[in-house]
A and B are shown apart, each in its own frame.
Chain A
Amino acid sequence: MPREAEPSLNERNFVSRALEEGLRVDGRKFDQCRPVSLKFGDEFGVAEVQFGKTKVLVKVSAEVTVPYTDRPFEGVFSIASELSPMVAPSFEVNRPTETEVLLSRMLEKTIRRSGALDTESLCLVAGKKCWSIRADVHVLSLDGNLTDAACLAVVAALRHFRKPDSSIEGEILTVYTPAEREPVPLSWLHSPFCITFSYFGEEGDTAVLLDTTWLEEQLRTSSCTFSLNRHGEICQVSKLGGVSIDAPVFVQCAQVALAKSKEYTELVDRKLAEDAKSRDKGGLMAELTAENDR
């Protein structure tokens, strides 16, 4: 069984001593993130997010399927996340580790259950035909703060995605190719983002860090993930075990999370606008689009 080398005693002592002096190993401030990069692919619905050395690629795809019998008016939306041995040999295919289960649960709660995507808009023929939207999360390299990166990548990819346009005349459903009609974006309701805080020290009061590296993540005593959109609407807060945190600290974290969420929203909006501009050759996109303003 391949195993990762655990941090040595020297590293543990150094990280905690440095945090007591207000320093992080890589010289960042406690609430400073690594440079975030967001790139879209040539195809619609491909987004790559990089937080330092953590790299996540998300690909969104759509197909026409039969809706679930208990939800005849809703489309199908699923997020598939898998950590492959490409990240580290300790991840095995078809044998999900705790990290992987927690990641998929977190994305599920943040994006799917918060109703970020309007699934009713995916219905084509009630009870018979609907769109199935699937977001595949590929983790390319892991250096901590995976949840935040994956969530940002999924939201960006879904907002970038365009599904083929379709029409119904009588009983006949027609799905148009991109050559016939310009693909349409998904009906997107709000953009929630995950922001993870890591707590250090016996009481969890030595330091509160944002965007931890893998080494820091191995040494933290507790962590907490807030999922919220830029309006401050909280989708979920999860604190799985670890030492208890004082309520005032927790509230302060929520406020920082709100600021971060606004920052990420602004980043995604800006990158989407840049991408749309680069695709809009000759300024004909406005005429081509079949999208109605909400």
Chain B
Amino acid sequence: MLFSYSSLLQGRNPSLKSIPRTQNPTRLTHRAGAMSSGPIYVLPGDEIDASLIPSHPKKPLRLGPGLRHAPPNDIIPTVAGQFVVERQKNAIRVETTSGRYIPRVGELVIGTVHHSGAESYFVTLSDFTSSALLPHLSFESATRKTRPMLANGALVYARVSLAHKHMDPELECVSPSTGKSDGLGPLTDGMLFPISLGMSRRLMLSKSAQDGKVVVLDELASAGLQFETATGRNGRFWVDSENIKTISLVGRAVTETDEKGLNVDQQKKLVRSLIKELS
């Protein structure tokens, strides 16, 4: 079943008619109306309202992370989170804030080089998972002689190029079509901060202030701080700056926003208090 969080919050209970008869009558279920605005939240195993699933004349329906196809024609969420529909792409997915990072093709991640093998680096993306492989030659204009030598423990910003369920993921630091690095590669100096997966997604949105409601970085930059950041989809946030205090400040601002779930006004207030501390 779908939970309409907004309607729960506003205390508008769905009408009794809309509560469907299910096989599990002990659980209170609310079916969200197809027209409901506001975010829709699902629990694992919930039934998804057919009216929410997009239909496209040509494109096949794409299931993103957090959803499973149960043959013949059921779609079941496997995680709790926000149900997101992308009508243009004819795709649906479930967004979660917490949980372990599962690599998916095309995502940008920050990994730590664990050790170097004969052909590739073994890169750790998250705790307690097997390492990802980063071939020695998948850097911009890398040949056997000119490839970058990464020490154990070095950080790399890379794209996931291969992610199969039963295989170690593979990474690349070069675009296979253009041969350019597009900003990927080793990250020198700076500091790494752990953030939640939801926060890293919000930070990586193209309009993070508008869609993700993250304004700390913009606020810090407009306060005159100069820094460079990189966000990995695996819940890593890298900051570099000339000034050590700035690095620490930016990292703390982002982690605090993440942990305390601050809204836009609270984020602005946090930045003001941090800037005051700096001067």
Binding site for B on A (CB under 8 A): 2-14, 17-18, 21, 23, 25-27, 88-90
Minimum CB–CB distance for A293 against chain B, Å: 46
The answer to whether A10 and B191 have CB atoms under 8 Å apart is yes
The answer to whether A10 and B151 have CB atoms under 8 Å apart is no
Say yes or no: is B178 at the interface (Cβ < 8 Å to chain A): no
Give the residue of A2, A9, A18 whose beta carbon is less than 8 angstroms from that of B153: A9
Give the residue of B127, B154, B187 whose beta carbon is less than 8 angstroms from that of A88: B127
The answer to whether A5 and B126 have CB atoms under 8 Å apart is yes
Minimum CB–CB distance for B159 against chain A, Å: 19
User: Can you list 16 pairs linking A and B with CB atoms under 8 Å apart?
Assistant: A2-B127, A2-B129, A3-B127, A5-B124, A6-B153, A8-B153, A9-B154, A10-B155, A10-B188, A10-B190, A10-B192, A11-B192, A12-B153, A14-B247, A18-B248, A23-B248
Closest-by-CB residue of A relative to B113 is A8
Give the residue of B126, B155, B189, B252 whose beta carbon is less than 8 angstroms from that of A27: B252
Size band of the B side of the interface? 20 to 34
Say yes or no: is B112 at the interface (Cβ < 8 Å to chain A): yes
For the complex, would chain A's binding face be called helix, strand, loop or mixed by DSSP majority?
Answer: loop
Closest-by-CB residue of B relative to A14 is B191
Interface bits B187-201 vs A (CB < 8 Å: 1, else 0): 111111000000000
Question: Which residues 236-266 in B have Cβ within 8 Å of A in the complex?
Answer: 238, 244-245, 247-249, 251-252
**What's the Cα separation between A247 and B267 when bound, in Å?**
46
Chain A residues with CB under 8 A of B155: 8-10
The answer to whether A13 and B251 have CB atoms under 8 Å apart is no
Minimum CB–CB distance for A290 against chain B, Å: 46
Interface bits B217-246 vs A (CB < 8 Å: 1, else 0): 000000000000000000000100000110
Minimum CB–CB distance for B238 against chain A, Å: 8
Knowing A8-B192, A11-B192, say if A17 contacts B128 (CB, 8 Å).
Answer: no
Minimum CB–CB distance for A201 against chain B, Å: 16
Give the residue of B128, B151, B190 whose beta carbon is less than 8 angstroms from that of A2: B128
Chain A residues with CB under 8 A of B249: 27
Give the residue of A8, A25, A88, A89 whose beta carbon is less than 8 angstroms from that of B112: A8
The answer to whether A6 and B112 have CB atoms under 8 Å apart is yes
Closest-by-CB residue of A relative to B259 is A53
Closest-by-CB residue of A relative to B187 is A10
Knowing A8-B192, A9-B153, say if A14 contacts B127 (CB, 8 Å).
Answer: no
Minimum CB–CB distance for B127 against chain A, Å: 5
Chain A residues with CB under 8 A of B189: 10, 13-14
The answer to whether B128 and A26 have CB atoms under 8 Å apart is no
Additional pairs, 17, CB under 8 Å, beyond known A5-B124, A5-B126, A13-B189: A2-B129, A3-B127, A3-B128, A7-B153, A8-B155, A9-B154, A10-B187, A10-B188, A10-B189, A10-B190, A11-B192, A12-B153, A17-B244, A18-B248, A21-B244, A21-B245, A25-B251
Chain B residues with CB under 8 A of A18: 244, 248
Chain B residues with CB under 8 A of A4: 127-128
Chain B residues with CB under 8 A of A89: 127-128
Knowing A3-B128, A8-B192, A10-B192, say if A26 contacts B244 (CB, 8 Å).
Answer: no
The answer to whether A88 and B128 have CB atoms under 8 Å apart is yes
Interface bits B166-192 vs A (CB < 8 Å: 1, else 0): 000000000000000000000111111
Minimum CB–CB distance for B90 against chain A, Å: 37
Minimum CB–CB distance for A5 against chain B, Å: 4
Minimum CB–CB distance for B158 against chain A, Å: 14
Chain B residues with CB under 8 A of A7: 153
Chain B residues with CB under 8 A of A26: 252
Chain B residues with CB under 8 A of A13: 189
**What's the Cα separation between A192 and B129 when bound, in Å?**
40
Minimum CB–CB distance for A53 against chain B, Å: 9
Interface bits B99-115 vs A (CB < 8 Å: 1, else 0): 00000000000001010
Minimum CB–CB distance for B181 against chain A, Å: 19
Closest-by-CB residue of A relative to B150 is A9
Minimum CB–CB distance for A91 against chain B, Å: 11
The answer to whether A9 and B192 have CB atoms under 8 Å apart is no
Give the residue of A6, A11, A88, A90 whose beta carbon is less than 8 angstroms from that of B191: A11
Chain A residues with CB under 8 A of B153: 6-9, 12
Chain A residues with CB under 8 A of B128: 2-4, 88-90
Interface bits B149-167 vs A (CB < 8 Å: 1, else 0): 0011111000000000000
Closest-by-CB residue of A relative to B154 is A9
Minimum CB–CB distance for A253 against chain B, Å: 25
**What's the Cα separation between A6 and B154 when bound, in Å?**
11
Closest-by-CB residue of A relative to B238 is A10
**What's the Cα separation between A17 and B191 when bound, in Å?**
11
Most buried by A among B112, B126, B251: B112
Question: Which residues 17-57 in B have Cβ within 8 Å of A in the complex?
Answer: none
Most buried by A among B124, B127, B238: B127
Chain B residues with CB under 8 A of A25: 191, 248, 251
Knowing A3-B128, A6-B153, A8-B112, say if A14 contacts B244 (CB, 8 Å).
Answer: yes
